[in-house]
A and B are shown apart, each in its own frame.
Chain A
Amino acid sequence: MSRRPYVRPMPANWFMSKPAYRFYMVREASCVFNLVYGLNLFAGLWQLTNGAEAWAGWLALQAHPLMIVFALATLAMTLLHTVTFVEMAPRVMPQQIRKMIPDNTVKAAMFGGIAVVTAAIIGFTAMGAM
């Protein structure tokens, strides 16, 4: 047998090879930011149960420049996550439903829903601060 198929190895950094892959990795990485930020919030809750001093310490930590950078990065990643999620969502809906409702309608509805929830949260937070 003269056949000798050559199998190209998959490089460990395959995700760097194409813009589409890099974007995919960033998209997937966005959830890591949310996870860490979520843990941070839980830590805040935990500190709240530990009394005013612990809570103040946690609040002080949030004001640290690095934490602000992290919060902003999380915000950016969350927005990316949201946009990509909404963009992909109609394609995952059962084909029967997809054929009935245009993709853009679904996306608009999802963005609308997210906007309402976001506004509500910001609203309640603002009211709580008053």
Chain B
Amino acid sequence: MQIVNADIVIVGAGGAGLRAAIAAAEKNPGLNIALISKVYPMRSHTVAAEGGSAGVVQAHDSLENHFQDTVAGGDWLCDQDTVDYFVSHSTEEMIRLENWGCPWTRKDDGNVNVRAFGGMKIERTWFAADKSGFHMLHTLFQTSIKYPQIKRFDEYFATDLIIEDGRAQGVVAIEIATGEPKTFLGCAVVFATGGSGRVFRFNTNGAIVTGDGHAMAFRAGAALRDMEFVQYHPTGLPGSGVLMTEGCRGEGGILLNKHGYRYLQDYGLGPETPVGEPKNKYMELGPRDRLSQAFWNEQRKGNTIETPLGDAVHLDLRHLGKEKLMERLPLICSLAKNYLGVDPVTDPVPVRPAVHYTMGGIRSDQTCKTDIPGLFVAGECASNGMHGANRLGSNSLAETVVFGKVAGEMAVDFASQATQSDEKILAEQGRSHLSRIDAMRNANGTEKASHIRHEMVQTMEKTLGIYRLGEEMQEGVDKIAELRERFKNVKVEDKTKVYNTELLLAFELDSSLMVAEAMAVGALNRKESRGAHQRLDGFEQRDDENFLKHTLTYFNGDKAPRLDYEAVNITRFQPAERVYGAAGEKQGEEKK
């Protein structure tokens, strides 16, 4: 088994992984960095982010505003030290991206423009039309080419962490083109492996968002935290789930039910604001969890529009006019035309909520450290306390670079102090992971992985949706446990080595099932409603007394994950009622 020696091993080459690699290369140019990704970097799912990336830049805005919006948006489940670090470093990262060539949309005077976004009190979302993630990712990828010490291993699929001497010292990864497993050794490991939205049927995520990193860290002993908080984005296209950015509403788009009524005013987000004059934190600029919940209620009331692809509401952009749509939202226009045959210039776009983001992840802190020494995490795979129970739009792109940098630098510090264990022992451990790969490759049972996957995504959608019931969640927990059991009897029919994507899908499904179970168990046991976790079975209220705490899940072999809880870091912003619209404004005034 070939051994690849590096100083730092980074898994994942999306926004966070690339930023970590660049940060590490800049901090200590003498180190070798192995950047491993299961896809070419520009295929990473950062590419699909549309709306923008938050960083305080206007004179009448403040870090405190961004801090409060984020913590309140997260329903006070955010670790406030992490949020503080984040808001005070995101703007410099946006500037750095600009210096590296990111084509942010500009104002006439040559300064960067910002747009309004849901749950944000003041416009602070940097954007590159409606392809912000695409441009950030390509800028980072292209900039990374400058650093010869970043050695990329594109299309390598990581399967296991190597832990020796109580710390992470590398990974085992399959070279997809040859099917050969290789051992990557380094004194520090960074995971920037993204989220796990594909465990749900109807989602905005790419095929690759399967929670591989979550599961690898989980199996190695790290806690997965707050996994029950799964964000539904209120505006996905029916059928495909393709995302219609929140920027649509930031630019002034409105949501209508089948009576042409702006229903959000009935859900604590009003009063109605004039069409074409979006007001921050009112109506369509409320947070994502509230908007998705409002859709669910409208559907219950029979106010949604029936389409061949399921119930929907209308996202109306017509009043923005063709010119503005083409300048600010060109991708949205072409996606709506291609996938639904609807031209947003002339017709409202049918939309419905779709799973978008996993707030939870591998437990970490503002320094990206995890439960496993030497393992650092950044981006969607991490739960550093940034997002709490609900993430605000445009905070995640910023998170990838803010904490990508931290992870890269922390990895350098760690690697420069650590000495590698005996290579023979590490190689031996690398080989020990081969048995799992071989077992999967030779899996000759009777279950079809694709069918288990279909059952998993349907189960998750049915039992862990926008609103949840204890009984249904229990059903979900049981079903996922059953599927995990059945997965042991899976069959991998393709026995070839070269580009065996069936084998990789099996590995991904294995990971997804573990992540799904952590989500379901965490949700069932959180007996309150907070942010994206809303219950209808007697736990409709937020319960700060019992549940102002993070859920921790630990790998427990074949059994359901072991549960634990830990305190939330609250520094100065005490929990209060989470209100938007006029009520939010009133609360703000009272505080003054």
Contacts and interface: CB of A to CB of B under 8 A. Distances in A.
A/B contact in complex, CB under 8 angstroms: yes
A3 B155 CA distance: 14
A5 to B, nearest CB: 9
Interface string A1-44: 11110000000000000000000000000000000000000000
Interface string B492-511: 00001110000000000000
Interface in B168-206: 177-179
A41 B461 CA distance: 78
Nearest to A1: B178
Interface string B474-507: 0000000000000000000000111000000000
Contacts of B498: 2-4
A3 B497 CA distance: 8
Interface in A41-94: none
Contacts of B177: 3
A4 B178 CA distance: 9
Contacts of A2: 178-179, 496-498
Contacts of B496: 2
Contacts of B497: 2
A4 to B, nearest CB: 8
A79 B362 CA distance: 67
A19 B228 CA distance: 55
For the complex, would chain A's binding face be called helix, strand, loop or mixed by DSSP majority?
loop
B495 to A, nearest CB: 11
A2 B500 CA distance: 12
Nearest to A4: B498
A56 to B, nearest CB: 65
A1 B2 CA distance: 13
Contacts of B179: 2
A2 B177 CA distance: 9
Contacts of A4: 498
A77 to B, nearest CB: 38
Contacts of B178: 1-3
A89 to B, nearest CB: 26
B576 to A, nearest CB: 52
A45 to B, nearest CB: 56
A2 to B, nearest CB: 5
A4 B497 CA distance: 11
A1 B179 CA distance: 9
Nearest to B496: A2
B494 to A, nearest CB: 13
A1 B180 CA distance: 9
Contacts of A1: 178
B485 to A, nearest CB: 33
A4 B179 CA distance: 13
A4 B498 CA distance: 9
Nearest to B178: A3
Nearest to A2: B497
A4 B177 CA distance: 10
A124 to B, nearest CB: 49
A94 B252 CA distance: 37
A2 B498 CA distance: 7
Nearest to B177: A3
Nearest to B499: A3
Interface in A69-126: none
Nearest to B175: A3
A99 B177 CA distance: 43
A128 B497 CA distance: 79
A3 B177 CA distance: 7
Interface in B318-343: none
Contacts of A3: 177-178, 498
B181 to A, nearest CB: 13
A3 to B, nearest CB: 5
Nearest to B497: A2
A85 to B, nearest CB: 30
A99 to B, nearest CB: 15
A23 B201 CA distance: 46
A115 B178 CA distance: 62
A31 B61 CA distance: 64
A56 B178 CA distance: 75
A22 to B, nearest CB: 29
A111 to B, nearest CB: 28
A14 to B, nearest CB: 27
A3 B178 CA distance: 6
A1 B178 CA distance: 7
A2 B176 CA distance: 11
A3 B496 CA distance: 10
B206 to A, nearest CB: 26
Nearest to B179: A2
A51 to B, nearest CB: 68
A2 B497 CA distance: 7
B243 to A, nearest CB: 31
A40 B177 CA distance: 59
A1 to B, nearest CB: 6
A48 B498 CA distance: 72
A90 to B, nearest CB: 21
A3 B180 CA distance: 11
A3 B176 CA distance: 10
A62 B496 CA distance: 69
Given A2-B178, A2-B497, 6 more contacts: A1-B178, A2-B179, A3-B177, A3-B178, A3-B498, A4-B498
10 contacts: A1-B178, A2-B178, A2-B179, A2-B496, A2-B497, A2-B498, A3-B177, A3-B178, A3-B498, A4-B498
9 smallest CB-CB distances across A and B, nearest first, come from: A2-B497, A3-B178, A2-B498, A3-B498, A3-B177, A1-B178, A2-B178, A2-B179, A2-B496
